[in-house]
């Protein structure tokens, strides 16, 4: 749960780097929350009210975290737009999110593993 709150503390921070664990734990929590909200929406016949509000509220922190994760791999945040290339782009973005970050400091800052270790 602390990964989720750490990301929300950096709500719109696009600078720096983020570890794989931080990204994937946030992703996992978001998916679980979205599924629960979809169930609530369908039960109340309000779909997509709560799910849409949650997606809107978490869009900016999710985007910022994705950019910081790209920074950890040595890529500019603009690589996010690769996801708009049909089929291949989304797969490539997942590969980038799963790639281990640079162990040494790069142009975006020191390694988050070194800072948190």
On whether the CB atoms of residues 23 and 71 are closer than 8 A, the answer is no
How do the domains of the chain map onto residue ranges?
A: 2-100
pLDDT at 5 exceeding the cut of 90? no
Structure tokens at 57: 């509220």
Q: Which of 6-15, 36-45, 107-116 has the highest mean pLDDT?
A: 36-45
Structure tokens at 45: 């016949």
49-79: per-residue pLDDT in tens? 999 999 999 999 999 999 999 999 999 999 9
Q: Determine the pLDDT at residue 115.
A: 63
pLDDT at 81 exceeding the cut of 90? yes
Q: State the average pLDDT over residues 6-30.
A: 92
The pairs formed by 39-45 with CB atoms below 8 angstroms and a separation of 24 or more are: none
pLDDT at 116 exceeding the cut of 70? no
């Amino acid at each position: 749960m602390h990964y989720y709150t750490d990301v929300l503390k950096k709500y719109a921070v696009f600078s720096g780097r983020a570890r794989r664990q931080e990204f994937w734990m946030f992703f996992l929590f978001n998916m679980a929350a979205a599924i629960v909200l979809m169930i609530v929406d369908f039960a109340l016949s309000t779909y997509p009210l709560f799910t849409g509000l949650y997606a809107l509220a978490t869009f900016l922190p999710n985007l910022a975290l994705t950019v910081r994760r790209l920074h950890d791999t040595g890529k500019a945040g603009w690589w996010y737009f690769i996801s708009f290339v049909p089929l291949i782009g989304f797969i490539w973005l997942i590969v980038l999110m799963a790639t281990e970050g640079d162990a040494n400091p790069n142009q975006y800052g020191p390694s988050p593993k070194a800072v948190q270790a």
